[in-house]
Amino acid sequence: MWRKDTNMIRRKENGFTLIEVLLIVMILGLLAAIAYASIFPTRAEGFKVQCRNNRVAINSKIDLYYFEHGEWPDNTNFEEDILGNNEFFPDGKP
């Protein structure tokens, strides 16, 4: 009988309990949630800045079109006149 009890104790010392494993998983999940929440607002802010820069670039190119052609670009041909013109956007459409 004494031997049976010592085997149970030894078996218990060789691994982690279910509660310990669940606790670690919960802590890792909490850390992942904090990291996720801190990364993605920064990404959204980057998209806003990119859109703002594109808007400024398009407005300046419209002004350049006006000074070179003496008239504002037609709204129906805006993409053709401004965005598709390599003279105004040599790197391609913004």
- pLDDT, tens digit only, all 94 positions of the chain: 555 555 555 555 678 899 999 999 999 999 999 988 887 777 778 888 888 888 888 888 889 889 998 988 777 666 666 666 666 666 666 6
Give residues with Cβ within 8 angstroms of 53, minimum separation 6. 94
What is d(CA 94, CA 87) in angstroms, rounded to the nearest whole number?
13
**Whole-number pLDDT of residue 85:** 66
**So where are the chain's domains?**
2-83
**Whole-number pLDDT of residue 19:** 92
What is d(CA 86, CA 93) in angstroms, rounded to the nearest whole number?
9
**Whole-number pLDDT of residue 22:** 94
* pTM as predicted: 0.45
